């Protein structure tokens, strides 16, 4: 027997909750919906394009009437609810329709605020909230000439633009001197006003409306200074008010809206509420993104999953007003201790302002060029220290990519980050659809997800996602559950391992209430890394939690054979090693022998059953695995340095060998590559490695966070050092900080961008005691890591290269 859910309000928030509920618990409820409008569920944000003649009503429908029938939902369209009997759990509509409920969801939205002035009830005076209002405006445009829009916010400007496109002379009246003061600062607002005036809109700023004049319908607007202007239509767009009269009438506790807790429950536990009618932690929200977040949490609790809480929203606004791109987020007007970083290019119609406090973004306003809005919002939400790239931050992430310092792409955003505000589509939903449905065009993505199908301001981000997702194999974990086995994120799990001293998978599964008692292919490798990197002397490396490549110490190829890469320290080899490789290739009839980009030799086409014997012969020649498959140190690329090169300034080859022997076998969140170049000509390409050393006359430049793969990222300069001993200590400290704080499958490049280069410097360069402690922990763990299993099976252990950390001076 299904439970009965009644939804009062057929708008975007309520129906989004129903859609979320159907996705996770399709058979849980028998659903009845009451809507005051005689339509299905439509995208209220897209009323402006309908008014402007750019879209039809059918094109903005989210769920038409047939959709409700297909889902088995009873829709009472055009039937406003007038009473709810909570004791009998019954809902009654104006036409007498009654529906019983076990759970009730209130999503009554908001009402336009109508100024309390004489004449506000005259025909021709309307708000701008629904399809009926649009139809009224279109009818007025067919017969009238002049229109007045009261309110210079987003809604007012959209109404004015639509009416102007319908041929009316439009005057926008605003009580303040700044348009869209909730989204723009005065500079951006002035630019917007000038642009709109060029297009034909008129403005009365700082004007207070005194009365609306007329008899049978509105004919003029009078202001407090005595000015009167003729009009055939007045549109009130001065704000909205939560519609909570019904809730208040039936005894639900309300203040400025229906008061709900973090699970979207009202004071009556059978009654939930979402959307613009809601007050949560003292806040009422009118933007789409918070409403979608509320809907997801509410659906989760209606389904009795009991996980997830709505804790309020940090909002950003990305708009397209009459074809002009705008973006704002956070405290863009600044405050005590804040600074402003500004770029203004009047010729291009571009204005950018970041409000910064202690090198962290507090707010942003973008006008004309909003492509970096998502990046700035991510910097704001994550509290990223921008000190390392402050001087170029306003040029955007594309400039950083050109200069080799790119730290952002849409792929670094969290999966729950909103991409399409009009339809509430997050990044994860888009990438999942692209991968699962094999989508290859923007139109296909629009059809399956609705992203970019409305105003179009997110089209650039959707195109980036499409380009990055097609063919992408792995993605960096963000702040989301590790997998379906748990609700805990990577950071939460790692903290629990450390704080609760968990040393085995079984302990993690029990302590953190893992849904799958054995974990899965996604979480087990991550958990195994977190265990052995946190407790190297106690946690046992679980081979069954490693991928097949790591278990057999070879890379599986497309034909089922394997690739074997023995380690060559710093790219050096000798006749004995070369003979051993040649003998193995002959003995096991290995078809391809290739020099790799990491200065090693790759044996391709090895049969799985031959792997133990191949490794036994290589081990006998003193060669261990090069970990070409591992989440560990891969290679240390070197040039010949002072040994042979006439430009060499230091012994780069020797230093590379020492670094590799010190760090090989290490466990890291993802693959880790190093290089040492003997001079600034950088033949070893040290500036696109995770840890790179460039030798100079005075010593060594230390570079970190590079990536030479699909998305090239140049390194950041960490510091300059004078001795090899310092280089080795800094290398150990950097690797240990990365593996203690990096998330599994997160390369050093996105890790540094997430935590900030300044943070890395503060932990390693500026804090000598912490650096030495990190170095000591790394070296301690290496005695448990630098064991080659194949060498052990062949009868011996490969010992770690001896290394003594720097002694404290003074």
The whole-chain average pLDDT of the chain stands at 89
In this structure, the strands spanning 103-106 and 3-8 are parallel
Under the banding of pLDDT at 50, 70 and 90, the label for residue 238 is: very high
Q: What is the pLDDT of residue 419?
A: 80
- What integer pLDDT is reported at residue 289 of this predicted model? 81
> What local confidence, expressed as pLDDT, does residue 269 receive?
95
Q: Is the pLDDT of residue 707 over 60?
A: yes
| Distance in angstroms (rounded) separating the CA atoms of residues 188 and 330 | 15
What secondary structure letter does DSSP report for 599?
S
Look at residue 457 in the predicted model and tell me its pLDDT: 63
- What pLDDT score was predicted for residue 195? 92
Token pair in block for residue 207:
């004007």
Q: Which residues are CB-contacts of 178 (< 8 A; sequence separation ≥ 6)?
A: 152, 184, 185, 186, 189, 190
Q: Is the pLDDT of residue 668 over 70?
A: yes
Residues 699, 734, 681: CA angle, nearest 5 degrees: 40
- Note the pLDDT of residue 800: 37
Exposure string (b/e) for 190-214, b if CB count within 10 Å is 16 or more? bbbbebbeeeebbbbeebebbbbbb
- Tokens 């190093």 sit at which residue? 674
pLDDT per position as a tens digit, 126-160: 999 999 999 999 999 999 999 999 999 989 999 99
The string of pLDDT tens digits covering residues 199-233 is 999 999 999 999 999 999 999 999 999 999 999 99
Least trusted range by pLDDT, from 440-444, 510-514, 782-786: 440-444
CATH number assigned to the domain with residue range 633-793, chosen from the 4 options 3.30.470.10, 1.10.1660.10, 3.40.50.11540, 3.30.413.10: 3.30.413.10
C-alpha–C-alpha distance, residues 21 and 18, integer Å: 5
- Which of the residue ranges 207-221, 313-327, 769-783 would you say has the lowest mean pLDDT? 313-327
Q: Do domains 316-408 and 418-469 have the same CATH topology?
A: no
pTM of the entire predicted model: 0.59
What's the pLDDT at 453?
73
23-32, 145-154, 429-438: which has the minimum mean pLDDT? 429-438
The domain over range 418-469 is classified in CATH as 1.10.10.1100: yes
Classify residue 667 by its DSSP letter. Answer: -
Supply the pLDDT for residue 68.
97
CATH of segment(s) 549-620: 3.90.480.10
Model confidence at 20, in pLDDT bands (50, 70, 90)? very high
- The yes-or-no verdict on residue 405 having pLDDT over 80 is no
What per-residue confidence (pLDDT) applies to 413?
67
Q: Compute the distance between CA of residue 582 and CA of residue 255 in angstroms, rounded to an integer.
A: 81
pLDDT at 802: 35
Q: pLDDT at residue 779 above 90?
A: yes
- Rounded distance between C-alpha atoms, residue 373 and residue 711, angstroms: 21
Burial class (CB in 10 A: 0-12, 13-18, 19+), 560: exposed
Ordered DSSP codes for 356-387: EETTEEEEEEEES--TTHHHHHHHHHHT-B-G
- Does position 398 have pLDDT exceeding 70, yes or no? no
% of residues, the chain, pLDDT over 90: 68
Residues 590-624: tens digit of each pLDDT: 999 999 989 999 999 999 999 999 999 998 898 99
Residue from 40, 20, 38, 37 nearest 28 by CA: 20
Q: Residue 180: name the closest of 289, 326, 373 by CA.
A: 326
Q: What is the mean pLDDT of residues 2-16?
A: 96
Look at residue 472 in the predicted model and tell me its pLDDT: 40
- Lowest mean pLDDT of 322-336, 439-453, 595-609, name the range: 439-453
Domain at 3-111+242-302: CATH code = 3.50.50.60
Whether 1 contacts 27, CB under 8 Å:
no
pLDDT reading at 530 higher than 90 = yes
Q: Where are the domains of the chain?
A: 3-111+242-302, 125-238, 316-408, 418-469, 490-546, 549-620, 633-793
Cα atoms in the 13 Å half-sphere on the side-chain side of 237: 28
At the top level of CATH, which class does the domain 125-238 belong to?
alpha beta
Q: Is 406's pLDDT higher than 60?
A: no
Residues 6+ apart with CB under 8 A from 416: 426, 427, 428, 480
| Strand pairing category for 125-126 and 110-112 | unpaired
Three-class SS of residue 696?
A: strand
What's 316-408's CATH class?
alpha beta
């Amino acid at each position: 027997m299904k439970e009965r859910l009644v939804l009062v309000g057929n708008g975007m928030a309520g129906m989004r909750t129903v859609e979320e509920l159907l996705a996770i618990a399709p058979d849980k409820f028998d659903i009845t919906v009451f809507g005051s409008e005689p339509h299905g569920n439509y995208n209220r944000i897209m009323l402006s394009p309908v008014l402007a003649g750019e879209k039809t009503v059918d094109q903005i429908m989210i769920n038409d009437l047939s959709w409700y029938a297909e889902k088995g939902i009873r829709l009472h369209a055009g039937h406003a609810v007038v009473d709810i009997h909570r004791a009998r759990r019954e809902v009654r509509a104006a036409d007498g329709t009654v529906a019983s409920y076990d759970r009730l969801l209130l999503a009554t939205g908001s009402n336009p605020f109508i100024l309390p002035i004489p004449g506000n009830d005259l025909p021709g005076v309307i708000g701008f909230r629904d399809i009926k209002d649009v139809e009224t405006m279109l009818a007025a445009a067919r017969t009238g000439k002049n229109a007045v829009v009261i309110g210079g916010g987003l809604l007012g400007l959209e109404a004015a633009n639509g009416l102007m496109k319908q041929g009316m002379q439009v005057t926008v009246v605003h009580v303040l001197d700044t348009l869209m003061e909730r989204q723009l600062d005065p500079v951006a607002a002035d630019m917007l006003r000038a642009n709109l005036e060029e297009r034909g809109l008129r403005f009365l700023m700082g004007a207070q409306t005194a009365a609306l004049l007329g008899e049978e319908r509105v004919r003029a607007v009078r202001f407090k200074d005595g000015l009167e202007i003729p009009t055939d239509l007045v549109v009130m767009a001065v704000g909205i008010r939560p519609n909570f009269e019904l809730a208040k009438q039936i005894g639900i506790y309300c203040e400025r809206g229906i008061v709900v807790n973090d699970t979207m429950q009202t004071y009556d536990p059978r009654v939930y509420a979402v959307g613009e009618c809601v007050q949560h932690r003292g806040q009422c929200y009118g933007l789409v993104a918070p409403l979608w977040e509320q809907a997801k949490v509410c659906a989760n609790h209606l389904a009795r999953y009991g996980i997830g809480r709505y804790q309020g929203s940090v909002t950003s606004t990305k708009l397209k007003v009459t074809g002009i791109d705008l973006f704002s987020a956070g405290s863009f007007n600044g405050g005590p201790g804040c600074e402003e970083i500004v770029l203004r290019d009047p010729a291009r119609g571009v204005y950018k302002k970041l409000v910064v406090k202690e090198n962290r973004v507090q707010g942003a306003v973008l006008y004309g060029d909003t492509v970096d809005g998502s990046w700035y919002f991510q910097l704001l939400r994550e509290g990223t220290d921008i000190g390392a790239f402050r001087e170029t931050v306003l040029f955007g992430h594309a400039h950083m990519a050109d200069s080799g310092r790119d730290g952002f792409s849409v792929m670094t955003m969290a999966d729950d980050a909103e991409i399409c505000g009009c339809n509430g589509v997050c990044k994860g939903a888009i990438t999942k659809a692209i991968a699962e449905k094999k989508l290859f065009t923007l139109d296909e993505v629009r059809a399956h997800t609705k992203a970019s199908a409305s105003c179009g301001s997110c089209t650039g981000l959707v195109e980036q996602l499409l380009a990055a997702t097609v063919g992408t194999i792995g993605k960096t974990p963000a702040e989301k559950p590790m997998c379906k086995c748990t609700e805990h994120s990577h950071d939460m799990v790692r903290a629990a391992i450390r704080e609760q001293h968990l040393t085995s998978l079984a302990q993690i599964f029990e302590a953190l209430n893992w849904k799958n008692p054995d974990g899965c292919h996604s979480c087990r490798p991550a958990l195994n890394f977190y265990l052995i990197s946190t407790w190297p002397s106690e946690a046992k490396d679980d081979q069954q939690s490693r991928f097949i490549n790591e278990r057999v110490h070879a890379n599986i190829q497309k034909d089922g054979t394997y690739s074997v890469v023995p380690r060559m320290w710093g790219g050096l080899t000798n006749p004995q090693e070369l003979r051993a490789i040649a003998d193995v290739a002959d003995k096991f009839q290995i078809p391809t022998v290739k020099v790799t980009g990491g200065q090693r030799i790759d044996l391709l086409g090895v049969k799985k059953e031959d792997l133990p014997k191949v490794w036994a012969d290589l081990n006998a020649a003193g060669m261990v695995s090069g970990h070409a498959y591992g989440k560990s140190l891969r290679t240390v690329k070197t040039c010949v340095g002072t040994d042979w090169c006439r430009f060499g300034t230091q012994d780069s080859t020797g230093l590379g060998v020492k670094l590799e022997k010190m760090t090989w076998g290490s466990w890291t969140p993802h693959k880790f590559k190093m290089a040492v170049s003997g001079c600034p000509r950088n033949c070893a390409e040290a500036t696109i490695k995770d840890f790179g050393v460039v030798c100079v006359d005075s010593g060594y430049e230390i570079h970190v966070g590079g990536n030479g793969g699909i998305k090239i990222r140049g390194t950041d300069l960490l510091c300059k050092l004078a001795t090899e001993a310092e280089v080795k200590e800094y290398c150990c400290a950097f690797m240990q900080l990365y593996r203690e704080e990096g998330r599994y499958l997160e390369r050093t490049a996105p890790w540094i961008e997430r935590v900030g280069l300044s943070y890395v410097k503060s932990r390693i360069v500026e804090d000598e005691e912490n650096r030495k402690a990190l170095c000591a922990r790394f070296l301690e763990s290496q005695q448990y890591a630098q064991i080659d299993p194949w060498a052990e099976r062949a009868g011996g252990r490969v010992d770690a290269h001896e290394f003594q950390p720097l002694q404290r001076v003074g």
